[in-house]
Structure 1
């Protein structure tokens, strides 16, 4: 049904294209103003709607920088029930931060600040006003938020659906025209097969045709061999029949990985950022063992009836030539 609707809406594509192109052009010409800050701002984003791996990329940057810098993440806080600026603390919940910032806070709360604000400019100003203000801010999903000019832009695009094979909304998934890629300092092709041939890489490089100032990298998802709950861990291979619950943009890579392990499971697949209903929880209460993503775990662990049987599978981003990327980021921070 959705595919049919997208075809029906094809006449809207030129209008959407023109509006988003014109908006970006006004920023490029300085007619609409972007604000710069005298501190390193690193933006992680994409051209498409969701599912490119921004969360593990932010966590990669946190792990790279947190030991040497006072670090903050700033997200929109998608689907949170609060408004304006929020700084994560021990009373924060998924509802106050959104699932991904809540995940950052649970994982890194002793090392970084985690904040949300739909207005990134306001969010940065609030962070800078703190007594323990950060000296680096990671802007999560802010590539189209041009009111703020980040000093370093990392653009993600997936291997299976790269931006150069996509169209703008509503027929495609692009938030803006493909030309927006020129604002990126680094382009990362995400969710690649773990073994990617040089010829495949060359084909993608030729399609992207990066500018002289741009650097192109390839990354894949690294899945853990253990699953985790609040109070214990289990070896993935030891799991008997379980229910996989996902509320992410594209669960196919995870399902493929678990199938490759010859594990016995059923899959309940929900939309990205799904808010689990009372009926959903009643259905999950009937299951013996539940495996989910870390993002979904943040929403589900609040239900006491699920705690004893709820686990998540950690993932990380694995980047080819990671030392080269690390140096680019660290050099930018030093210059700034």
Structure 2
């Protein structure tokens, strides 16, 4: 695989040139970007998957929900529907996509919508009778047709964009220079013990602009495992034989957190659509043992696997330090945008 990626280096240069020209056209106004009066926060990355966008979106929802009506707009990756779709009671993971459906179930008071055309999606949301005060754009850093008011760029601790290269030789969707569009950069999935010296080294490697802020976050696992029939503490099942199932990018930390010597692991591709054969494999390997999966996988496995066996483990994004500064920066942007909107 590494050899193949090296062989494809000329294609990476070509792809990088195409994306650079596209970005230049948007920067110069040759290609039009559309702005909206409503505060819009875009969360995304430069690399392909695995940076923790959904936990970051959830963090923003928890931060803003007490004071504002929130909508989340996603493209709905791998959904079996098209066009604009607003989540409702009859929505499923298949119609919305697994991550938007997870947000819809977890935060029933917010609006969750999907549309590959983010401009159209925003326009549709703003025509609603109960239109949102704030729109969070999920995975929209490269969606230049919409100009968000605030950009949060995520990069994983073990896979910094500064150490990566453009597709297909590396995993970057565009050049590292694209990071300059971000207001905030968050290094995600950090060890909770990350030292100040290591943080300084990463800061120097990322070469932030003077107007950019850098934060470090970690994944915090819940102490409770949830199912449709009962809840159990993680501690109560750690020494129990179980089957661990994950269809996410980079599942090793999830497995390591729960792994006991006799556990079995089943790994599937990110956003995997579980087939009947997959379900049969899961049930056969579980042998009536508890099946523990991620929250994203749970919404796709629920109703297909024995409910009494199937548990999921929620996660949250937590800042190692200066979380109050992050909160203040987000709240200041929203308050200022809302104030400007009411004046205009």
- The equivalent residue for 2:334 is 333
Residue 17 of structure 1 pairs with residue 16 of structure 2: yes
2:327 partner SS: helix
1:296 partner SS: helix
Distance in 1 of aligned mates of 2:264 and 2:282: 12
- The equivalent residue for 2:72 is 73
- The equivalent residue for 2:174 is 176
1:308 partner SS: coil
User: Which aligned pairs between 1:181-330 and structure 2 lie closer than 5 A?
Assistant: 181-239=179-237, 240-259=240-259, 262=260, 264-286=262-284, 287=286, 288=288, 289-303=290-304, 305-319=305-319, 320-330=321-331
2:307 partner SS: helix
State the 1:124 CA deviation: 0.3
- The equivalent residue for 2:2 is 3
1:157 partner SS: strand
- The equivalent residue for 2:122 is 124
Distance in 2 of aligned mates of 1:151 and 1:293: 32
* 1:237/1:263 contact within 8 Å kept: no
Residues 263/134 of structure 1: CA separation in 2 closer, same or farther (3 Å cut): farther
2:253 partner SS: helix
1:307 partner SS: coil
Distance in 2 of aligned mates of 1:163 and 1:192: 14
1:155-179 Cα distance to aligned partner (Å, 9 max, x none): 0001001000000000100000000
State the 1:7 CA deviation: 2.2
Distance in 1 of aligned mates of 2:243 and 2:56: 27
Aligned residues: 331
Superposition RMSD in Å: 1.0
* 2:229/2:308 contact within 8 Å kept: no
Distance in 1 of aligned mates of 2:283 and 2:258: 22
* 1:246/1:268 contact within 8 Å kept: yes
1:179-233 Cα distance to aligned partner (Å, 9 max, x none): 0000000000000001111110010011112111100000000011110012321
State the 1:264 CA deviation: 4.1
User: Which aligned pairs between 1:128-147 and structure 2 lie closer than 5 A?
Assistant: 128-147=126-145
Distance in 1 of aligned mates of 2:281 and 2:70: 40
* 2:228/2:308 contact within 8 Å kept: no
2:23 partner SS: helix
State the 1:299 CA deviation: 0.3
State the 1:257 CA deviation: 2.0
* 2:44/2:141 contact within 8 Å kept: yes
Residues 90/334 of structure 1: CA separation in 2 closer, same or farther (3 Å cut): same
Residues 154/263 of structure 1: CA separation in 2 closer, same or farther (3 Å cut): farther
Any gaps of 5 or more consecutive residues in structure 1? Answer: none
Distance in 1 of aligned mates of 2:262 and 2:322: 35
State the 1:82 CA deviation: 0.3
1:259-281 Cα distance to aligned partner (Å, 9 max, x none): 4xx56421101111111111010
2:306 partner SS: helix
1:274-325 Cα distance to aligned partner (Å, 9 max, x none): 111110101112212110000000100031x421110001100011211100
Distance in 1 of aligned mates of 2:112 and 2:119: 15
| TM-score, reference length from structure 1 | 0.97
- The equivalent residue for 2:165 is 167
2:131 partner SS: coil
Any gaps of 5 or more consecutive residues in structure 2? Answer: 338-344
